Structure 1
Amino acid sequence: MGNSLSCCLSRNACPKLGRRRGSAEPDCESEVYKAAAGNAVAVAPAAATVEPAELDFAGGEGHHLQHISDREMPEDLALEPNPSDHPRASTIFLSKSQTDVREKRKSNHLNHVSPGQLTKKYNSCSTIFLDDSIVSLPNFRTTLKRMTLAIYYHIKNRDADRSLDIFDERLHPLTREKIPEEYFEHDPEHEFIYRFVHTVFSAALLTADCAIVTLIYLERLLIYAEIDICPTNWKRIVLGAILLASKLWDDDAVRNVDYSQILKDVTVEDMNEMERHFLELLQFNIDVPVSVYAKYYFDLRSLAHDNNLNVLFTPLTKQRAQNLEAVSRLCDDKYKDVCRAAMRRSFSADHFIGIRSSNTILS
């Protein structure tokens, strides 16, 4: 306080950046510290004669801090997070669909295409419009429509035609009938993909939430194995993802021999080999966090909205609200049992999240 001057500099902290090569160092003690002892204002030695080109950083190597822009980013941070593992990473199918969505909007704007009668219904204070799909129990038909539309965009906007022999339908056909080569030169339409998936799901009695897990496994395979889904492999990739998803998600899992009965010309040995390769390519990572599942569910809803997929919205009545509450309670109880069983095996963060009871999101 007053005329006294406190200084926190130490003997080893003397600045040496203003030193000429071959010249003597400025004496910090004789100029700075003597000024402090004599109740005078301490002034650093003038360095007006020092040019930037003559600065010597070799002597202060131990005190030189590397600029943050010169540091290498850790490998795990430099890579983009995998959307099938990370809840905040954007899904691949939604980003691949945006190109077509923007082109459609641009074409409608340039051609002055009228949107026609508004079909979307908006909520009000007195009326709430909902479909019969919730996170814990999605609608079967609409979910399959959205999931197969995501696969369609994966095929249409693929980066290349990278594939593996185990998924090549020309090497491992799903039918005994000879397929012409022209079949593999054209991208399948959305309706064709939907009919194939719907046939398998209906015959195997699979649920709609299993379709979301199937899409998660599919995108995880494309990233882990660094391949593309294309006309020559899309059926076997989808079939392998369905096979794993049904075994993980359903209590009464469909066995490989059952799929060989659904697809008459496919042998059990072929299904076993494809399942083994699929697991190896996934590095046996078949865990699906709840947050990732919810992200895919809502991104599929966004995909349907961008592509004007027809969804029936009806007013929420008292009876429908009670039914949705009962379904939500039933799903919560079932999920708690799954979490208790999972907690006995491991204590991962996702299972801790699942223990907390959360209300079903109505959207």
Structure 2
Amino acid sequence: MGGSVSCCISPGESPKILRRHVDLDECPITTTEDVSEDTGTYLQHISDRELPDELAQEANPSDHPRASTLFLNKSQTDVREKRKSNYLNHSSPGLLTKKFSSCSTIFIDDSTVSQPNLKSTIKCVSLAIYYHIKNRDSNHSLDIFDEKKHPLSREKVPDDYSVVDPEHKLIYRFIRTLFSSAQLTAECAIVTLVYLERLLTYAEIDICPCNWKRIVLGAILLASKVWDDQAVWNVDYCQILKDMTVEDMNEMERHFLELLQFNINVPASVYAKYYFDLRSLADDNNLSFPLEPLSNKRAQKLEAISRLCEDKYKDLSRSAMRKSVSADNLIGIRNSQAVLS
């Protein structure tokens, strides 16, 4: 698997996605007979092919950009409780940690949708998984992800491993270790979360204390192969998790792919939605993305880039105007020839 990804199955054809029954009377079919002759053949507008809002809410968020992400919905329960508690106790939500630009200093965010900050992104992804586990609906799982049946280390699994929810710091430490050892990027962390939520929806399971490590590992394993051109081999992960075998890693990856129905495509719109929802999650939980003052050197670089882009757009507009003039001249010549003939 390289950086270029092709979807092997249409997300809309997944049998696991619940769909509302739509009466045919609600969706009248327009035929070419209903269109006047001067308008020509009816062409469906792109907005007519988009998912209605009520159906978008029921769709899988890892496939459709207009569907709400699962982790953000899971976190809203705690966010509302915090706000209610602060209101009843007349307490402030905490010290203001945000920095604001002034006349003397301009602060810029070093995390963008195309180049996210690695540490902050991993923290947010860990927090999203934490809320998935804490506010889960049930404990549906599969044996392939059960840590008791497939331990990640030789240490004895505690008897209460399936009932004690992991803390956010523990999840962050586990993911950070894998990303640091395998030298993975922040974009890979976002794709990991997309695959994780897609697995929960397609396989109709829950991420819970007994399976979260193996599910996260499987999502990271797949995301690193899909996103990075130079992917980490399964045997490399066995060097990080020294007690795991390559056979176990291969079997888990195969099951993960089958449960995803081999749908490993991540549209750019879905990726952007997860990135901005992770930022919203950070704001709700006072996790600030790093800001740094705009230096003279970086300001000059930004100014140079903006001038370069401006010159490029001017050249494109001139080229478009020349093509338009040439097309008008060609039409005039043809009309003249038609008159003469």
TM-score (norm. length: structure 2): 0.71
Unaligned runs of 5+ in 1: 1-65, 70-75, 329-363
Give 1:320 deviation, angstroms: 3.3
Could you tell me how far 1:130 is from its partner in structure 2?
A: 2.2
Q: Given the alignment, which residue of 278, 293, 303 partners 2:256? A: 278
Q: Structure 1 pair 67/256, CA: closer, same or farther in 2 (3 Å)? A: closer
More helix by share: 2
Aligned with residue 128 of structure 2, among 150, 154, 179: 150
Separation in 2 of the partners of 1:90 and 1:265? 38
Q: Decide whether aligned partners of structure 1 residues 237 and 327 sit closer, same or farther in structure 2, where only a CA change above 3 A counts.
A: farther
- The one of 254, 262, 287 aligned to 2:265: 287
**What residue is the counterpart of 2:201 in the other structure?**
223
Give 1:125 shift.
7.1
Letter in 1 for 2:193: L
Residue 131 in 1 paired to residue 102 in 2?
Answer: no
Q: CA deviation at 1:315?
A: 2.6
Pairing partner for 1:113 from 66, 91, 102: 91
Identical-residue share of aligned pairs (%): 74
Q: Are 1:189 and 2:167 matched, yes or no? A: yes
Tell me how far apart the structure 2 counterparts of residues 68 and 310 of structure 1 sit (CA, whole Å): 46
Structure 1 residues 82 and 170: alpha-carbon distance in aligned structure 2, compared to 1, 3 A threshold: same
Out of 219, 240, 251, which is 1:262 matched to?
240
Cα distance, 1:139 vs. partner?
A: 0.8
Report the residue type matching 1:110 in the other structure. L
Structure 1 residue 121: Cα displacement: 2.4
Q: CA deviation at 1:299?
A: 0.5
* Residue correspondences, number: 257
Instruction: Select the residue among 283, 302, 305 that pairs with 2:283.
Output: 305
The alpha-carbon deviation at position 256 of structure 1 amounts to 0.5
After TM superposition, what 4+ stretches of structure 1 lie above 3 angstroms from structure 2?
A: 66-69, 76-79, 122-128, 320-328
Query: For the residues of structure 1 that align with 2:202 and 2:64, how far apart are their CA atoms?
Result: 14
Q: Distance in 2 between matches of 1:195 and 1:184?
A: 19
* Equivalent-residue separation in structure 1 for 2:246 and 2:303 (angstroms): 42
- For the residue of structure 1 that corresponds to 2:75, the secondary structure is helix
Match of 1:174 among 152, 159, 162: 152
What secondary structure sits across from 1:314 in the alignment? strand
Distance 1:153 1:322, change over 3 A: farther
**Cα deviation, residue 118, structure 1:** 2.4
Counterpart code for 2:289 = V
8 Å contact kept, 2:98–2:288 = no
The verdict on how the C-alpha distance between 1:324 and 1:100 changes in structure 2, with shifts beyond 3 A counting, is farther
Q: Distance in 2 between matches of 1:166 and 1:319?
A: 53
Tell me the CA shift for residue 147 of structure 1. 0.5
Residue-by-residue CA offset, 1:141-182 (whole Å, 9 max, x unaligned): 111000000000000000100000100111100011111212
SS in 1 for 2:97: coil
Letter in 1 for 2:218: G
Q: Does 1:85 align with 2:98?
A: no
Q: Offset of 1:137 from its aligned partner?
A: 1.2
CA pair 126-82 structure 1, distance change in 2 beyond 3 A:
farther
Whether the 8 Å CA contact 2:140–2:205 is kept in 1: the answer is yes
8 Å Cα contact 2:111-2:289 kept in structure 1: no
3-state secondary structure, aligned to 1:181 = coil
Q: Conserved in 1, the CA contact under 8 Å of 2:123 and 2:172? A: yes
Alignment deviations for residues 90-144 of structure 1 (CA, whole Å, 9 cap, x no partner): 1100010001001001101111112454222234577542221111111111110
Q: Which residue of 2 aligns with 1:243?
A: 221
Report the CA distance shift for 1:322/1:202 in structure 2 as closer, same or farther (over 3 A).
farther
Amino acid across the alignment from 1:174:
L
Residues 135 and 106 of structure 1: is their aligned pair in 2 closer, same or farther, counting only changes over 3 Å? same
Task: Tell me the alpha carbon deviations over residues 163-207 of structure 1, each in whole angstroms, 9 at most, x when there is no partner.
Answer: 001001111000111112123211000000000000011111111
Q: Looking at both structures, which has the greater relative contact order when contacts are Cα pairs under 8 Å and sequence separation is at least 6?
A: 2
Q: 2:138 aligns with which of 143, 156, 160?
A: 160
